[in-house]
Amino acid sequence: MKVRTRFAPSPTGFLHVGGVRTALFAWLVAKQVSGQFILRIEDTDRDRHVEESEQHIIESLEWLGIKSDEPIQRQSQRLDIYKQWGDKLIESGRAYADPYTPQELEDFRQQAQASKQPFLFRNHRPTNPPAWEPGKPLRFKSEPKDYKWKDEVLGELSAGAESVDDFIIIKSDGFPTYNFAHIVDDHLMEISHVIRSQEFLSSVPKFLNLYEALGIDFPLFATLPYVMGPEGNKKLSKRDGAKDILDYRREGFLPEALISFLATLGWNDGTEQEVFNVDELINKFQLSRVQHSGAKFDEKRLLWVSGHFIREKPLDELYELSKSFWPESAQSSPVEYKKGVLELVQERLKYLAEIPELTNFFFEDLPVEMKLIDENKSLKNFNRQQIREMLVKTREKLESCDFSQASLTDRLNGLLEELGQKPGVLFSLIRIATTWAPASPALADTLSLLGKDASLRRIDSSLAALEK
230 vs 131, more confident: 131
- Across the range 395-409, mean pLDDT stands at 96
Residue range 217-233, pLDDT digits in tens: 999 999 999 999 887 77
- Residue 198 confidence (pLDDT): 95
**Domain 78-224: homologous superfamily in CATH:** HUPs (3.40.50.620)
- Whether domain 245-361 has CATH 1.10.1160.10: the reply is yes
Residue with the bigger pLDDT between 233 and 457: it is: 457
Q: Grade residue 5 by pLDDT with cuts at 50, 70 and 90.
A: very high
Instruction: State mean pLDDT over 211-219.
Output: 97
**307-333 pLDDT, tens digit each:** 999 999 999 999 999 999 999 999 999
131-140, 184-193, 227-236, 415-424: which has the minimum mean pLDDT? 227-236
Average pLDDT, integer, range 365-376:
91
Q: What is the pLDDT of residue 240?
A: 67
- Annotated catalytic residues are 238
**Domain chopping of the chain, boundaries:** 78-224, 245-361, 365-467
Q: Is the pLDDT of residue 400 over 80?
A: yes
Q: What is the pLDDT of residue 204?
A: 98
Q: What is the mean pLDDT of residues 3-9?
A: 98
pLDDT at res. 59 = 97
pLDDT at 236: 86
Q: Estimate to the nearest angstrom the gap between the alpha carbon of 20 and the chain centroid.
A: 6
The predicted structure's pLDDT at residue 150: 98
Q: How confident is the model at residue 237 (pLDDT cuts 50, 70, 90)?
A: confident
What integer pLDDT is reported at residue 241 of this predicted model? 63
Contacts 24+ apart (CB under 8 A), 377-381: 378/422, 378/424, 378/425, 378/428, 378/429, 379/425, 379/428, 379/429
Give the pLDDT of residue 279.
98
Q: How confident is the model at residue 46 (pLDDT cuts 50, 70, 90)?
A: confident
pLDDT the model gives residue 468: 78
Q: Which pLDDT does position 235 carry in this prediction?
A: 87
Q: Is residue 138 pLDDT above 70, yes or no?
A: yes
**How does pLDDT run across 269-286, given as a tens digit for each residue?**
999 999 999 999 999 999
Q: pLDDT by residue (tens digit) across 67-122?
A: 999 999 999 999 999 999 999 999 999 999 999 999 999 999 999 999 999 999 99
Average pLDDT estimate for 362-379:
92
- Asked whether this chain's domains 245-361 and 365-467 adopt the same fold, the reply is no
* Each residue's pLDDT tens digit, 157-197: 999 999 999 999 999 999 999 999 999 999 999 999 999 99
Tens digit of pLDDT for each residue in 103-113? 999 999 999 99
**In angstroms, how far apart are the furthest CA atoms of the chain?**
103
Q: What is the CATH number of domain 365-467?
A: 1.10.10.350
Q: What percent of the chain has pLDDT over 90?
A: 91
Calculate the average pLDDT of the chain.
Answer: 95
Is 90 exceeded by the pLDDT of residue 467?
no
**What torsion do the CA atoms of 244, 250, 254, 259 make, to the nearest 10 degrees?**
10
Label residue 234 by pLDDT band (50, 70, 90).
confident
pLDDT score recorded for residue 359? 97
Q: Which residue has the higher pLDDT, 238 or 349?
A: 349
pLDDT at 242 (0 to 100): 72
Q: Is the pLDDT of residue 148 over 90?
A: yes
